[in-house]
A and B are shown apart, each in its own frame.
Chain A
Amino acid sequence: MKPSRLHSAWTPWIFLAPFLLSFTAFIAWPAVRSLMLAFEQTFGPRTTAFVGLTNFRFMLHDPFFWTAVGNTVLFTVAAVVTQIPAALGLALLLNRADLRGRRLFRVIFFAPSIVGLAFVAIIYSIMLEKRTGFINSSLHSLLPAWDPDFPWLDHYVMPSLILAVLWLSAGFYMVYFLAALQNVPGELLDAANIDGASPWQRFRHVTLPEIRPVLNIILLLVVTGSFQLFELPYLLYNETNGNGPDNKALTIVTYLYQTGFRSGDLGYASAIGWLLTLVLVGLALVQRRLTQKEEL
């Protein structure tokens, strides 16, 4: 073999080797191992017992698991119906050339996504505290009949989570929509305008079809991100290990974490993890199928 041919044969592999090695060590092998674990009960790798489908069967009758599924699905639906319209609305607003100070607004709306969920959790828990929290003390000052001890975080568990994530994410997805809106051909909008289309008709029949690929990606990101919700409830409801009052904040990933890393039941946690993976892959496939149909 000539040096030049050897060169071309080996070079890609050498460049790929670090990725392949780390992918095998940290992604592929753990995935295979966790699939095996889902059929075992373990106390560390030395003490294992094959239990077949027991973990999956137990999951079907586990009220904690189903509470977590219910909460997660509810959060996901709420996230989709709040985050996407809010992000798109902000983007449409900030895409207007006649809006003064729009660069400043972009920074203001995007800023929460820089701080991260842990910071949001801390801010929210301080703001919503009874008596000394900003919300309760302000409401009590404005309306003396307002109960300063109103337990927002206990009474409105899911709305608190939805609102916190909305505040964090709307600005982030707004940036995607802004980029997409700026690529909508101006001549199409002008033509629609000349044809007498109303603003809603221009949005519905020109803008929306043009930004649909980005909308689909954001939809996928919101759904998968919502199914992985963990840090926020874990920090906001730290006193109850992330479960919240009456388990109203318990999510699938929080339950997986508690099962695997607090109770040490890695077999059951792996089964939960694999089910979550299957659900996410399924949702991604459904969405892909729907997108392809629309494109056709």
Chain B
Amino acid sequence: MLKMFSPGLWIVLLMAAGSSVLIALLPVPTHPGMEMWVFDPNHAKIARFIAEDWNHGHASNPVTIHLITGAAIQSRMMSGFYSDTPVADLIEVERGMIGQVFAGPVADVGFMELTGRLDRENLRTGINGPSFSPWTTRGHIFGLPHDVHPAMLLYRADLVEAAGIDVSKIETWDDYFRMLRPLMQDLDGDGRVDRFLLNASPTSIYYQEVLLLQAGGRMFDEMNQPTLNEPVNARSIARLATWYAGPGHVASEITLGGASSMRLVREGYVVGLLAPDWFAGSIRTSLPDMAGKFKVMPLPAWEKGGRRTSVLGGTMLGITKAGRTPEDAWAFAKQLYLSPATAQRLYEEARIVTPIKANWSQSFYDVPDPYFCGQAIGRMYIRLAPDVPLRPSSPYYGLAQQLLNQSVSQLCTYADDHRLYDAAALVPEAQRLLNEAQRQLQAQMDRNAFLRPAAR
């Protein structure tokens, strides 16, 4: 037998067998009780704080919080939903991830439906209504909303006030650009403007949607049917093009993230930035030396009496169908998301306001924030919370965003090519571009056999 193979081959075989046994004997880390996946460090910190309390009272079913990057959560979550690979009991899902979860039949959504529970326990009315919209598909709610994310305008109060501009007189975007125009200056004497009034550009995919929603536009209706070519969208992007294109453009974009972009914010390259609550918190953390230089104000309306806010971003907590103890998961989800302690930590750590209406009366939202020149920004954001626009949960939301962005870019090019910077004159071209975008979006959606009415 020994002579059947050469010594070298025996060594290879023994090494293969030995390493296989070693791998088989390696202990697999197991967590007793429930697991929760979180993508944001701030959310993880708060969840761990609440989990500590939960674990004291539920020693037999404790919860462990895992901080995992968003992309990894999406891959692992979808693998789990598709093919039963292990997933956590509870998963925090960011807005951009949810479309894929809702791309199949409702019965195949990997999260437990919460509609019945929310109604039975009378929770739905206690949560800010619009906050449910991104987590609802075909009339079924699959997540507990984490936030509201109303948008305001974060502006350089030091520059605006030094110029003697009274922002309380600003009601519309036209007022804003007209009154702040003196701030668009050539600071280094090269004949070019070095300061712009709004941080946005035709390529800023998220800001397009924020402004469109504020204007009363939308990309999908309540039934998640595409509405990209509605006339209000055409009128809105025609106005946006006049902000972005031409020699007198009032908006320019700093792609926020790196050190150089923060330098531009510090230098006042843009006076105003579209700022949901989380963004105000993020600026406060990223630029501590700018304390006392920023203030927030409701977004100027598109028309007099119009909506003064919009929405950007969002997170939900879902309970997976694969979880072994769904009742405990639901109990923990409520403890985590509904508690005043969470609301307080969320606001204090990240300036995020809770969607739980009962917590809106908490006094910590009224504490003046020295960073924002003593404004109680929590209260300001809460006042706008009920007005945030509804958002779609369509799996084609990302594509719609892309097509909208493409239309705005093409419209800006058209405006420059024809030296046409009047919104009314740009509407027909805007409508044509959006009609084409709508046709492309509809064609992609029509291909999905699982979203056709008969398959729902």
Chain A residues in contact with chain B, CB under 8 A?
3, 6-7, 10-11, 14-15, 18, 41, 43-47, 49, 51, 54, 58, 61-64, 126, 129, 131-133, 140, 144-145, 147-149, 154, 239-241, 243, 245-247, 261-265, 268
Chain A residues near B443: list those with CB within 8 A. 58, 61-62
User: Of all chain B residues, which has the CB nearest A129?
Assistant: B260
- 7 chain-A/chain-B pairs, Cβ below 8 angstroms: A3-B3, A44-B108, A46-B82, A61-B443, A63-B440, A245-B409, A247-B406
Given A51-B449, A131-B264, A263-B100, check contact A3 B83 (CB 8 Å): no
A245 to B405, CA, bound (A): 8
Q: How far is the CA of A225 from the CA of B158 in the complex (A)?
A: 52
Q: Which of A43, A132, A154, A245 contacts B104 (CB 8 A)?
A: A43
Q: Is the CB of B82 within 8 A of A263?
A: no
Q: Which are the 4 A-B pairs with shortest beta-carbon distances? A: A43-B104, A44-B82, A132-B260, A264-B100
Q: Among the listed A7, A44, A241, A261, which residue makes an inter-chain contact with B5, where contact means beta carbons less than 8 Å apart?
A: A7
Q: How far is the CA of A140 from the CA of B190 in the complex (A)?
A: 9
B110 to chain A, nearest CB (A): 9
Size bracket of the B interface: 35 or more
B258 & A126 in contact (Cβ 8 Å cutoff) = yes
Interface residues of B in 237-260 (CB under 8 A from A): 252, 255, 258, 260
Give the residues in chain A near B105, CB-CB below 8 Å.
43, 47
Interface residues of B in 152-189 (CB under 8 A from A): none
**B335 contacts the other chain (CB 8 A):** no
Question: From DSSP, what is the main secondary structure of chain B's interface residues?
Answer: helix
- Closest CB in chain B relative to A117 CB, distance in Å: 18
Given contacts A47-B450, A144-B190, A245-B202, could you give 7 more A-B pairs where the C-beta distance is less than 8 Å?
A6-B4, A41-B448, A239-B205, A240-B402, A263-B100, A263-B398, A265-B103
Please name all residues of chain A whose beta carbon is closer than 8 Å to the beta carbon of B191 when the two chains form the complex.
Answer: 145
Q: Do B406 and A262 touch across chains, with their CB atoms under 8 A apart?
A: no
- Residues on the A chain within 8 Å of B449, using CB: 41, 49, 51
A247 cross-chain contacts in B, Cβ below 8 A = 402, 406
Q: Point out the residue from B4, B192, B402, B444 that lies within 8 Å of A3, measured CB to CB.
A: B4
* Residues in B84-128 with C-beta less than 8 Å from chain A: 99-100, 103-105, 108
The distance in angstroms between the C-alpha atoms of A131 and B196, with both chains bound, is 13
B381 within 8 Å of A (CB atoms): no
Rounded to whole Å, the gap between the CB of A200 and the closest CB of chain B is: 44
Chain A residues with CB under 8 Å of B396's CB are 263
Q: Are A262 and B108 CB-contacts (below 8 A) given A51-B449, A58-B447, A245-B203?
A: no
Name A54's contact: one of B16, B190, B447 (CB within 8 Å): B447
Identify A41's interface contact among B9, B203, B252, B447, CB under 8 A.
B447
Report chain B residues within 8 Å CB of A64: 440
A240 to chain B: closest CB distance in Å? 6
Q: Which of B366-406 contact A (CB under 8 A)?
A: 395-396, 398-399, 402, 405-406
Residues in A whose Cβ lies below 8 Å from that of B9:
11, 14-15
CA distance A147 to B258 in the complex (A): 21
Chain B residues whose C-beta falls within 8 Å of the C-beta of A243 in the assembled complex: 402
Verify if B334 is at the interface (C-beta below 8 Å from A): no
Looking at the assembled complex, report how far the CB atom of A286 sits from the nearest CB atom of chain B, in whole angstroms.
32
* Whole-angstrom CA separation of A81 from B21 in the bound complex: 54
B3 close to A241 (CB less than 8 A): no
Instruction: Tell me, rounded to whole Å, the shortest Cβ–Cβ distance linking B140 to chain A.
Output: 16
What's the Cα separation between A63 and B192 when bound, in Å? 39
Q: Which A residue sits closest to B447, measured CB to CB?
A: A58
CB distance from B444 to the nearest CB of A (A): 8
Question: Max chain A CB contacts within 10 Å: which of B202, B398, B405, B447?
Answer: B447
Nearest to B96 among chain A residues (CB) is A262
Minimum C-beta distance from B130 to chain A (A): 25
Contacts of A18 in B (CB 8 A): 16
A264, B398: Cβ atoms under 8 Å?
no
Q: A63-B440, A245-B409, A246-B410 are in contact. Are A45 and B108 (CB under 8 A)?
A: no
- Chain B residue at minimal CB-CB distance from A261: B75
Cβ of A241 and Cβ of B6 under 8 Å apart? no
